[in-house]
Amino acid sequence: MQKRLFIAIDPEPAILDTIFKLISTLKRDYPTEGMRYTAPQNLHLTLQFLGETDEHQIPKIISKIDKICQNFSEFDLEFANLGAFPSRRNPRIIWLGVNNPQPVTALAKAIISDTGLVQDPEKAQFSPHLTLGRVTEDARGISSEMFSKLFAKLGSVNVGTTRIREVLLYQSILKPGGPVYTVLSRHALKNIC
């Protein structure tokens, strides 16, 4: 059987609460018809999307992630700045960025290149972000004024710092009401205290 997998890190509960309040502010002060916000339990930072994977491969994937994490220290991550993919003028995904991308990028690169899980690691792009919401087809092109106001006001928001202590392997099940993510394995990073 195939499972849709991805590898991610999760912000700590205290900061998740702040991020969820930020999402509530976006919903209340910048109402945008057709915008689909991320459910609080689905807020995570994806390091690598693996896609449909034969479930027999999962033990091998788990041991590869384990090996990387044993050699990689815990780190702090500061969440700040709202942005959009592909661009603020043409937003499809609204995201919260990070102020210190170096450690999380190094971790993602280690996972992308050293695990052999990604077919073409040279081409794999990594841009650390937390997806806050998606602009659905219906909303495209009709909400540009609202998005300009939103980025003008909150483009430089600072949400705070969270400790990243582990990497998670997730299964994603796509359902009509939105994706359901289940943790398949947890991998502690090296404790530096």
Instruction: Write a three-state SS string for 56-122.
Output: HHHHHHHHHHHHHHHCCECEEEEEEEEEEEEECCEEEEEEEEECCHHHHHHHHHHHHHHCCCCCCCC
DSSP 46: E
Distance in Å, CB of 84 to ligand 3AM, minimum: 12
Distance in Å, CB of 193 to ligand 3AM, minimum: 29
- H or E element in which residue 134 lies: strand 130-135
Beta carbon nearer to ligand 3AM, 46 or 105: 46
Of residues 131-190, which lie at the interface with ligand 3AM (CB under 6 A)?
A: 131, 172, 179
**Residue 147: helix, strand or coil by DSSP?**
helix
Beta carbon nearer to ligand 3AM, 25 or 131: 131
From the list 18-26, 45-53, 69-77, 150-158, the region that binds ligand 3AM by CB under 6 A is 45-53
Q: Which residue has the tokens 């309040």?
A: 21
From the list 14-22, 25-33, 44-52, 96-104, the region that binds ligand 3AM by CB under 6 A is 44-52
Q: How many residues bind ligand 3AM (CB under 6 A)?
A: 7
Let me know: does 45 contact 129? Beta carbons within 8 Å: yes
Distance in Å, CB of 113 to ligand 3AM, minimum: 17
Binding site for ligand 3AM (CB under 6 A): 6, 46, 49, 51, 131, 172, 179
